Chain A
Amino acid sequence: MLQGGIAAAKAGDKVLARSLLLRAVEHDSSNEIGWLWLASLADNPPEAIEYLRRVLAINPRNDQARPSLNKVLLRHGIALAKEGDKSQARALLLEASSLNPGNELVWLWLASVAEKPTDAVTWLQKTLEINPNNQQAISWLKRLRSQNGAAKPPNPSWQCPFCAVISQGKLFACPGCRAVLTLTDLNAAIENRQADRDILARAIKHYQNLVESNEEFSAHYYLGLAYLNLNQLSEAIPCLQKASQLRPDAEILKAHLAALEQRQKAMREASNRGQRRPSPLKTVLVVDDSATVRKLVQVILERCGHQVLTASGMMEALTKLEETDPDLVLLDICMPRIDGYQLCKIIKGATRDVPVVMLSGKDGFFDKVRGRMAGAVGYITKPFEPAALIRAVETYCNQNSLR
């Protein structure tokens, strides 16, 4: 497997090579060459670091792994430092410095992520021991000594706090995740429909963990901003309030926060006056021969508070229609014994004017026309997204109640 993996790697088939090499090291975890080849095929720096560490744990004198690990640690450490993940960057850069203490760059970057000014001074001095003419270290050390505090090196680029896309300077909205990155236009943030919800959800998780472990202004601020982009005002406000408490001198933030609170208050009042009354709960009958579809529809609609009745065929459907008074019938087209069009006609003929919506994997024009001709008011195509199903159910139920 090892030889096969190496051959595949040389042939450029990365996926096959990784698969074979992973099996080889799984079989023999002390296989130094296997780990080294895996490191060369790694998809990301943390993975490469992990594999190279394994090589050095097996053979600390491996002269291929040592410089490679040093290089990856340095690069990834610098990347993390730029992202603002100081503690992780520091750990990686310290490991890199132990592998190659003669590299001035590693000490300079370590200084930039130092926890205390004294550490920064020590690491800048190390830089100057290696290269006494390093102008950046000289000027920074001078500044540190004069200010007697930690100064940060200038960072020319700016990184999105949600998706880490780099840009030259802070932007109004991120070109990567499309999140609005400022509070200057509250409407743009709250009504942002273009932001990548997955990225924002991940960012929220990340900043949630950060605020649990330490009280950092930026973590609370970005958490609030992420919530705003998801239109979750009630979650955003407490985060921004916390950020404002941590930085009481941030007057602009205070002003934006006041505007947000006012907006929330207005929304609550409107809601109390009944202007935003939620739609009343509905009873929906789902007729489908597939138990999976019945369960899916049931879960989706019950989650919104609607009551769901299910039937797997014609007889059961007609019995349920007699026993109950559903607001809507969701009817599958392809069923054994009788198809959905025929059953729709029977339902329409036998009962009061209950709206029927066809539910089908067929989305052709003629299928929809046949559904209409049978008396269906709408058509939902399978596979369906929960939001689309909920929207359709509420639309058709409301249409019926307006008649």
Chain B
Amino acid sequence: MKGLKESIRLARARRLAVSNRKALPPSKVHWDNELEDKLIFLVSTLEQLMIKWLEKSSEERASGTLQLLAEMVNRTLDLAEKLPPPGARAYFLTHALDHAGQSYPLVRALPANGYHLSIETTAGAANSMMEWLVKSRSSLRQVCQGLVLALEFCFALFERFFYLPETRDRWKTIYQILILELKQVVVVLV
């Protein structure tokens, strides 16, 4: 019975997708497919980054959380840069940090060079801030939660680049699962 319902749901979704696709010019359908493929690969890559981080020891994990999240944001920005118009990366970063900063103001203090978050553990401009964050667990948690929110905001911005509502919805369900997993991980480990 369950299998039958699933088949009916799939068939309906397929029929709807076909009718939506027919209403759009092929170039736009092609664009949606290509973008969705790139985003899927991005999410798959981010998921692997998360898994590899979880395999580390608990000490390494605590200090590396911020770098991991920054790396995730930066990789997402790299993909944003490939979208028109030029300079999308800076737009994504500025707005994502602004958005996250409303709930987690400390995120605004993160060193961003206009295109990337530059969080390094080595000696440098960001060093003192990093040391302070690692010592202050509540601040670190706040920044990490802020970065997850920034990442979610970037993902949501990608939605605007899809033409087909069904592709947009599909992308939404994908990134919301990753974000949920990330939120759980941050809450448990930081």
User: Residues on A close to B: CB < 8 A?
Assistant: 15-16, 18-19, 22, 43-44, 47, 197-198, 201-202, 204-205, 208, 227, 230, 232, 234-235, 290-293, 295-296, 299-300, 302, 305, 307, 323-324, 334, 361, 382-387
Contact = CB atoms under 8 A, between A and B. Distances in A.
B31 A205 contact: yes
Contact of B112 (A19, A43, A334, A385): A19
B181 A386 contact: no
Contacts of B14: 305
A48 to B, nearest CB: 13
Given A15-B115, A19-B112, A361-B52, A292 B30 contact: no
A334 B54 CA distance: 12
Count class of interface residues, chain B: 35 or more
A383 B27 contact: no
Contacts, number: 99
B6 A383 contact: no
B51 interface: yes
B41 A384 contact: yes
B44 A384 contact: yes
B40 to A, nearest CB: 5
Contacts of B174: 292, 295-296, 299
Interface string B98-122: 0000000000000011110000000
A293 B30 contact: no
10 contacts: A22-B90, A43-B87, A205-B27, A205-B31, A232-B30, A296-B43, A299-B173, A383-B45, A385-B41, A387-B37
Given A19-B114, A197-B34, A295 B177 contact: yes
Contacts of B159: none
Nearest to A208: B27
A291 B180 contact: yes
A235 B28 CA distance: 12
Contact of A292 (B37, B52, B84, B178): B178
Contact of A299 (B28, B40, B82, B112): B40
B137 interface: no
Given A292-B177, A383-B47, 15 more contacts: A15-B113, A19-B113, A47-B87, A205-B31, A227-B27, A235-B26, A295-B173, A295-B177, A296-B47, A299-B40, A307-B7, A307-B10, A323-B3, A384-B41, A386-B37
B24 to A, nearest CB: 11
Contacts of B177: 291-292, 295
Contacts of B181: 290-292
A300 B40 contact: yes
A125 B169 CA distance: 58
A305 B188 CA distance: 38
B170 interface: yes
Given A47-B87, A292-B47, A299-B40, A201 B31 contact: yes
B113 A383 contact: no
10 closest cross-chain pairs (CB), A and B: A383-B44, A19-B114, A383-B45, A204-B27, A235-B26, A15-B113, A292-B178, A292-B47, A386-B37, A361-B48
